[in-house]
Structure 1
Amino acid sequence: MTRSAHVDSFARDHLPPRQQWPKLIFGLPELLYPEQLNCAHELLDATAARLGGDRRCLVTDSVTWTYADLLRHTNRIANVLVRDLGLVPGNRVLMRGTNNPWQVACWLAVLKAGGVVVSTMPLLRAGELRPVIEAAQPSLAICDVGLADELVAAGTGGAAIVPVGGGGADDMTVRAASRPDSFAAVPTAADDVALIAFTSGTTGRPKGCMHFHRDVLAIADTFSSHVLRPHCDSLFVASPPMAFTYGLGGMLVFPLRVGAASLLPEKTAPPLLAEAIARHRATAVFTAPTAYRAMLRLPGVALDSLEHCVSAGEHLPAATWEAWREATGQRIIDGIGATEMLHIFISASADEVRPGSTGRAVPGFRARVVDDDGQPVADGDVGRLQVQGPVGCRYLSDERQLEYVRDGWNVTGDSYVRDEDGYYWYQARTDDMIISSGYNIAGPEVEGALLRHPDVAEAAVVGVPDEDRGTVVKAFVVLAADTEASAVSARLLQDFVKHQIAPYKYPRVIEFVEALPRTSSGKVQRFRLREQVR
């Protein structure tokens, strides 16, 4: 590790022991970053200097900021952080806000000032915020005024709360208005911690994932550069909040790296997201399979401006991919990423997509499928996915580091098959693989079959105990509007699945529900469904 610029050494002190890190690979020349690197400076100052500050950068329904506007606001906020609030390099700054221009400026300002960003999902409640605060020990909290109540209820451990958007004398926007327009970025080390991203809790207690300044650029210089291939006139829009690393890449890191612009709609439910795309002629969208399915059901929304459609966060069923292609002419770019890896590491560009496959290892990464003993399996066999690249898992003081990193590889917790062409085919989360009467049944495959039925809006599958078969498949199904839940409709769905996939995989139990339990980032919490049937 290089000489750190952090005066507050908390983040570096709480990295896992070096021998527990995954092996990092820097096989692309663009990944050979200098020892001193501030990612906010590279994303904003360097891009503005290279392409011009008059380029549009952040777009909402009411305002457009150029790169010069964002640079000015970012520098003013950085001056507030250092001069008024006493931030020193290495201090953690908790951020709580929606996707809006001021939150982008605050995020960049914290990093320019040498701080460590700890972003939190807007929907988190006090009880969910508390363990994040206890783990990260922030020195300061920047919070949209409309989201302050839960943060106050959680308690910040003495960290001052700076509101954004309230208009009072202590409001960040008011304070920043009178501060200087210039700020020299702290010369952080490339391997100084830039952000602590917390997992969304699909399996319970969230984990803090520490990522370096070079990591932030690496996700743009791998997936975005080699798979997405955006251009400086692209207009990105993302439905996840920037606290979710999938959204952070899609709405901030990727566009700023190439001098493009980001559309920041106030709300991103599928109908509103589709309307925003049509209204502003967005060219790149980052969202989840659920949203793509929902937008397909919207009549008369023009999505013809789209050039890049990216899906992650959940497995993309082939039926959704085919339906989207038929309706829009666009091939969805599927990908698998992880908070531990910061962004997507397996994917395929639109002209190389194979429906139903996640893709191939993104340039800069390598992947393999192994058995329970960590030995590679033959192409065509099911195994556990492992990956290496320029980024990797480094948990914040968490014993689960030893579970995610083994023998230098990141162990994602997913079951995959690799074919002879190097394409990876998702089977299930490792704990979603159901063994019934000796048969291996991948829950997502059953979900995909159910989702092909027009009466099914959403579906999630888990294994439940059975005296005769050990385990059987149970499906939790959300029906489409105006569809009646009944024993007859359950049987019809079971028969439908038997004709879609091998009959032994059909759900022997179907429960109709109003909604599936989800994390604040939209992922289905299957562990909660399992808890219901124990």
Structure 2
Amino acid sequence: MDFTLNLPEQFNAADYFVDRNIREGRADKVAVLCEDRQLTYGQVQAGMNRVGNGLRSLGVRMEERVALLLLDTEVYPQAFFGSIKIGAVPICINTLMRPKDYAYFLNDSRARVLMVDQSLLGIINGVRSKLNFLEHVIVVGGTADETDLVFDTWVAGHSDALEAAPTTPDDACFWLYSSGSTGLPKGTVHLHHDMVYATETYGKQVLKVKETDVCFSAAKLFFAYGLGNGLYFPFSAGATTVYHPGRPTPDAMYSTIAKHRPTIYYAVPTLFGSMLVQDGALDGVRICVSAGEALPAEILKRWKERFGVGIMDGIGSTEISHIFISNREDDMRAGSTGKLVPGYEARIVDDDLNDVAEGDVGTLLIKGDSIAAYYWNKHEKTKKTMLGDWINTDDKFFRDEDGYFFYVGRSNDMLKVGGIWVSPIEVEACIMEHASVLECAVVGAPDKENLIKPKAYVVLKDNFEPGEELSKEIKEYVKKALAHYKYPRWIEFVDELPKTATGKIKRFMLKDQATQTAA
């Protein structure tokens, strides 16, 4: 579906998402709630402008990168939009990485300025001698030694008036680093119009975020999913956003929901599953949203039964900014990723990029104007992934006759069992229906003849004990529900599954483990 923004030739995203709210009379409207603190749109604007002026005083110019290694607090929108307003390019960095990862991010981006939370400063100090371009460190939420700047003191010394830089819709606006599961992380370069496109399509036409909404995202702001949920979707509508700087545990989520009563709650499937086994309420929440991995039908069923609120599952990516296929509040098909978001087009293709027949599995290509311009310093990867107007998601899907899309796994996650493709997602969804299972992951493992068969790693609910009898029962359950060749030949009970910072299962670790165990 064609969709055009028609933005002016001179356009700055910070002006659109922050200053516009002031022009429209929301200076005194609460923009951010964080623990016991709150900021109005007027206060966010003042802070944003002070950050921008502060960065200019450090010699930061248009198109220069500014690294943000920050927790989800009221500082984030000020730092993010303050950088953008002067034409600089903020980089949202994962706060849960290792020292060598930060050395890579900072050297790869060549950022001269880093804003870092006090709690993470020690990790940065451990690799400072390896940072070739960093000149200024601004410490948020604490003190700094004499060589660094303290955020509160630094911003207080600068004016709260600032004109937006004369950027265009096609200037670089912000970066997100994609996961490095198939090599080094890639700096994904987004333009000033990308957030607006995602807002006008998914934000307004599917989520339907309104000024009266209060948005709360368990997914963090350094994550593409969380950045839209917690920052530019609420700011686009003049709504209120809630930040939780700590770990998104079930108890913390229920506590934050009780305190701030959000109307939209965003999380990932793993967290929704964990919350189902904890006490808590969703008072005030009108809709829940899931992304990051496919939402098992069983979790949706149990969630609706318990809370009377649906979970709107969808798929997005770092490269495409946010969600491009989604279920709707009034149209949720369990097990499906939903239908195309207005403004996006899709093709499902074979290995030669030819469209497959309806119902057949293939690789998903997406077209839409929120797609990143390129990967920084990754020319070959850019050419292989960004195919003109289209981007290769490397996800395997099929589409049914009603236009619903069904995710069957990443291209390298699919299993070929007895010459027939098996989706680990389908097997996992079936195992999840068993009364004993909290969560699971299915990968391929070699048997004695070195042929690949499904193996399941299973986390049980608290009142179930692992054992051979239960393993046999789960296998029989899958045999009855699915084609016989799809059942897991081995079940390994584990206390937890390895996950990324954004809640995705680290399947590559389980694949390696399954292979080593077989060997």
Deviates more, 1:58-67 or 1:495-504: 495-504
How many Å separate the matches in 2 of 1:78 and 1:451?
49
Residue of structure 1 in register with 2:442 after alignment: 461
Shift of 1:372: 1.4
Aligned to 1:508: 489
TM-score (norm 1): 0.91
How far does residue 533 in structure 1 lie from its aligned partner after superposition? Answer: 2.9
Equivalent residue in structure 1 for 2:455, among 474, 498, 511: 474
Aligned-pair distance for 1:43? 0.1
After TM superposition, give the deviation of residue 190 of structure 1 in Å: 1.0
Matched residues in 2 for 1:528 and 1:206: separation? 17
Shift of 1:382: 1.2
Shift of 1:428: 1.4
Amino acid at match of 1:451: M
Mapped contact 2:475–2:487 kept (Cα < 8 A): yes
Match of 1:340, SS? coil
> Is 1:165 aligned to residue 141 of structure 2?
yes
Partner of 2:124: 151
Helix, strand or coil at the partner of 2:153: helix
Write out per-residue CA displacement over residues 413-451 of structure 1, whole angstroms, 9 at most, x where no aligned residue.
111111112111111111111111122110011111121
The 5 A counterparts of 1:339-354 are 339-354=318-333
SS in 1 for 2:212: coil
The answer to whether 1:284 aligns with 2:254 is no
Residue 427 (str. 1) matches residue 419 (str. 2): no
Q: Does 1:58 align with 2:58?
A: no
Maintained 8 Å contact 2:99/2:126: yes
1:181, distance to aligned residue in structure 2 (A): 1.5
Alignment match, 2:7: 33
Task: Kindly provide the CA deviation profile for residues 104-133 of structure 1, in whole angstroms up to 9, marking residues without a partner as x.
Answer: 211111111211111111111111222222
Alignment match of 1:124 (pick from 85, 92, 97):
97
How far off is 1:337 after superposition? 0.6
Local SS of the residue matching 1:135: helix
Residues 1:205 and 1:457: Cα distance change in structure 2 (over 3 Å): farther
Shift, 1:98, TM fit: 0.8
- Structure 1 window deviating more from structure 2 (265-274 vs 163-172): it is 163-172
Partners of 1:265 and 1:409 in 2: how far apart? 36
2:218 to 228, 239, 254: 239
Q: CA RMSD in A?
A: 1.6
Distance 1:308 1:202, change over 3 A: farther
Verify the 8 A CA contact 1:121 1:521 in the aligned structure 2: no
Q: Is 1:265 paired with 2:244?
A: yes
Task: Rate the CA distance shift 1:407–1:218 in 2: closer, same or farther, 3 A.
Answer: closer
CA contact (8 A) 1:202 1:523 kept: no
For 1:183, which of 150, 162, 170 is the aligned residue? 162
SS in 1 for 2:412: helix
Tell me the residue number matched to 1:18: none
The residue number in structure 1 matching 2:207 is 228
Please say which of residues 513-522 and 426-435 is displaced more in the overlay.
513-522
Q: Which moved more, 1:415-424 or 1:474-483?
A: 474-483
Alignment counterpart, residue 134 of structure 1, candidates 88, 93, 107: 107
Aligned identity (percent) is 34
User: Is the 1:203–1:527 Cα contact (8 Å) retained in structure 2?
Assistant: no
Greater alpha carbon shift after TM alignment, 163-172 vs 258-267: 163-172
Residues of 1 paired with 2:402 and 2:295: CA distance? Answer: 20
Distance 1:147 1:484 in 2: 39
* CA positional deviation for 1:482: 4.4
Distance 2:467 2:227 in 1: 42
In 2: Cα distance, 1:64 partner to 1:253 partner: 17
Distance in 2 (CA, whole Å) between partners of 1:407 and 1:266 is: 39
Distance in 1 separating the partners of 2:388 and 2:282: 45
Show the counterpart of 1:317.
Answer: 296
Deviations 1:447-483 (A, max 9, x none): 1112122322221111112354721001112222243
The residue that corresponds to 1:21 in the other structure is: none
Correspondence list, 1:302-341, <5 A: 302-341=281-320
For the pair 1:48 / 2:22, whether they are aligned, the reply is: yes
C-alpha separation between the residues in 2 aligned to 1:61 and 1:139?
31
Q: CA deviation at 1:198?
A: 0.5
1:370 paired to 2:349: yes
Among candidates 463, 469, 472, match of residue 491 of structure 1: 472
Moved more, 67-76 or 152-161: 152-161
Structure 1 position 395 matched with structure 2 position 371:
no
**In 2: Cα distance, 1:504 partner to 1:220 partner:** 43
1:55-87 CA deviation, whole Å, 9 max, x = no partner?
11000221111101111111111111112x111
Quote the Cα distance in structure 2 between the aligned partners of 1:202 and 1:492. Answer: 34
Give me the whole-angstrom Cα distance separating, in 2, the residues matched to 1:429 and 1:119. 25
Structure-1 residue corresponding to 2:83? 110
Contact 2:257–2:283 (8 Å) recurs in 1: no
Q: Relative contact order (alpha carbons < 8 A, sep ≥ 6): 1 or 2 greater? A: 1
Give the superposition deviation at 1:485: 2.3
Alpha-carbon separation, structure 2, partners of 1:204 and 1:518:
18
Aligned to 2:56: 82
**Native 8 Å contact 1:51 1:259 kept in 2:** no
Question: How many residue pairs end up in the alignment?
Answer: 506
- Mapped partners of 1:207, 1:33: distance in 2: 28
For 1:184, what is the secondary structure of its paired residue? coil
Alignment partners' CA distance in 1, 2:126 and 2:481: 49
Alignment partner for residue 444 of structure 1, among 422, 425, 431? 425
Distance 2:480 2:132 in 1: 57
CA distance in 2, matches of 1:190, 1:138: 22
Once residues 472 and 100 of structure 2 are traced to their aligned partners in structure 1, the CA distance between those partners, rounded to angstroms, is 41
Contact 2:368 2:389 in 1 (8 A): no
Q: Please tell me the residue identity of whatever aligns with 2:391.
A: N
Q: What letter is aligned with 1:147?
A: L
Whether the aligned pair in 2 keeps the contact of 1:199 and 1:339 (CA below 8 Å) is: yes
Matched residue, 2:514 = 533
Query: Which stretch shows the higher mean deviation, 166-175 or 244-253?
Result: 166-175
Question: Structure 1: which 5+ residue stretches go unaligned?
Answer: 1-24
Native 8 Å contact 2:138 2:151 kept in 1: yes
Give the unaligned 5+ runs of structure 2: none
SS in 1 for 2:236: helix
- SS across alignment from 2:416: strand
Structure 2 residue aligned with 1:4: none
Contact 2:110-2:133 at 8 Å conserved across structures: no
